[in-house]
Amino acid sequence: MTDTNTRIAQIVGDNDVVLFMKGTPLFPQCGFSNRAVSILDHCNVAFESVDVLQDMEIRQGIKSFSDWPTIPQL
């Protein structure tokens, strides 16, 4: 497992719900991330967010970790 995969696994393991998104919950940087935050908020789901725009290794790593090519990822 790569260092990035280890970091992602740690984040996922430490939190019940994690949203890997573009931006932050207060300032989403794409419509899809905004929609994901809105849905989680509407359902009163507590979640940890990770801004993939701040870390290119996480941005690419989450795609291989989950085998899914797009962001946001829940």
**How far is Cα 19 from Cα 58, in angstroms, rounded to an integer?**
12
Cβ neighbors of 29 (< 8 A, separation 6 or more) are: 22, 23, 53
For the record, the structure tokens of 20 come out as 């890997």
What pTM was estimated for this model as a whole? 0.94
DSSP 8-state assignment for residue 15:
-
pLDDT digits (tens, 9 = 90+) for 1-47: 689 999 999 999 999 999 999 999 999 999 999 999 999 999 999 99
Identify the pLDDT of residue 2: 82
The confidence score (pLDDT) of residue 25 equals 98
Q: What is the CATH number of domain 3-66?
A: 3.40.30.10
